[in-house]
Structures are given as C-alpha cells and as structure tokens.
Amino acid sequence: MFPELQPDDPGSPAPEVGEFRQGTADSRRALSGYLVGRAIGEQTAAGLMILGFAMLALAVGAYFIAPTWLAVLVGLIGFGLLLVRAVVAGLMRRLAGVGRFGPHEDRMRSLVAETRGDVRRELRRLGLPSHTATMPLLAARLLGRRRGEVIARLRGFDIDRVVPPARVDDMHLVIQALSER
C-alpha cells in the first residue's frame, strides 16, 4: 500500500471533507500569540487612558474641595498616566506593525477586536485582572513583587481557547494577500 494513503494516526478521527488548516502548527501558534499580544496591548493602553482621565477629573474636583497643591499633584499624576499610555500605545503600534497591513488593516483590527473578549475571559479563568480599566494592574504585577505568581498563572493561558482556528486562518489569508502585492 502507498505510504501517502496511510492515515497519520489511526486513532484520530478522520478529517472532515474540505477541512484545511492554513500554515504549520508553529505559524498558527505565532499568529495566535500575535493576536493575543496585540489585544492585551490595546486593552492596557485603553485602561491607562481611563485611569489618566479619571485622575484628571479627580484633580478638577480636588481643586474645589482640597488644597491647590493636592489638585496639582493629582493632575500631574493624571497627565503622567496619559503620557505613559501614549508611549505604550506607540510602542505597541510599532512592535505589532499596525498600519502595515494596508488595505487589510480593517480586517486585522476586527480580528484583534474579536480576540479581545476571549483574552479577557481566559485571564478571568486564570484569576488575573481582565477588565480594560484593570489591565494596567496586570502590567504592574508583572513588574512588581508578584511577578513569579503572575507568570505561574500565565503559564496556564490556553491560546487555543482564545484564538479559534477560523481566526488564525483569516490572519493567514490576510498575510498571504499582503505577500501577493
């Protein structure tokens, strides 16, 4: 019998008609990681923006009911958070290649947006901060004393739960379309 006609694993179920996975297992994992990383970066930037504007609003309120120096201090903290947010967002855009997908950028943004909710659900399952406003806490924990605990929990992050195969296939198609330009 011809070896190419032998099933890979006799115990595994036969593939469905028309079932075809784009790329290799390593490329699918890398693209899934890209989607997760970009979704977490966008959530962290959004969380920093929320905290920055909340601090500025608190500074305005403090101006009327507290000493002026306290209002100025809280306002400076708010502006500092907004500055950190701008740096994080710019760094994430640069590292993730945002804007380099040309006519396919809208599709990439929608893929990242679809991934964002799944990332939050998986982080919640692991007992880590998952809301947009609390996402900067995850970054702070990674930089602080609780780093070991957070990394141990993140090792339980199941990327296959977060990024369904169809989404990875869409990314492969976008990248393939870019390579044909």
Note the pLDDT tens digit of each residue in 126-168: 888 888 778 778 878 878 888 888 888 888 877 778 778 777 7
Per-residue pLDDT at 103 exceeds 60: yes
Helical segments of the chain, H only = 25-65, 68-96, 105-125, 135-143, 147-154, 159-162, 165-179
Q: Is residue 162 part of a domain?
A: yes
Q: Is residue 15 part of a domain?
A: no
Q: Is residue 23 part of a domain?
A: no
The Cα 50–Cα 10 span in angstroms is: 54
Number of independent structural domains in the chain: 1
Q: Is residue 6 part of a domain?
A: no
Q: What is the pLDDT of residue 57?
A: 96
Tens digits of residue pLDDT in 9-30: 555 555 554 555 566 667 766 7
Q: Is residue 82 part of a domain?
A: yes
Q: Is residue 21 part of a domain?
A: no
**Which single residue is written with the structure tokens 């400076």?**
76
Cβ-based neighbours of 115, under 8 Å, separated by 6 or more:
35, 36, 38, 39, 162, 163, 167
The Cα 74–Cα 65 span in angstroms is: 13
Q: Is residue 75 part of a domain?
A: yes
Per-residue pLDDT at 104 exceeds 80: no
pLDDT-derived band of residue 76, with 50, 70 and 90 as boundaries? very high
Question: Could you list the residue range(s) of the whole structural domain that residue 157 is in?
Answer: 36-179
Q: Is the model more confident about 48 or about 140?
A: 48
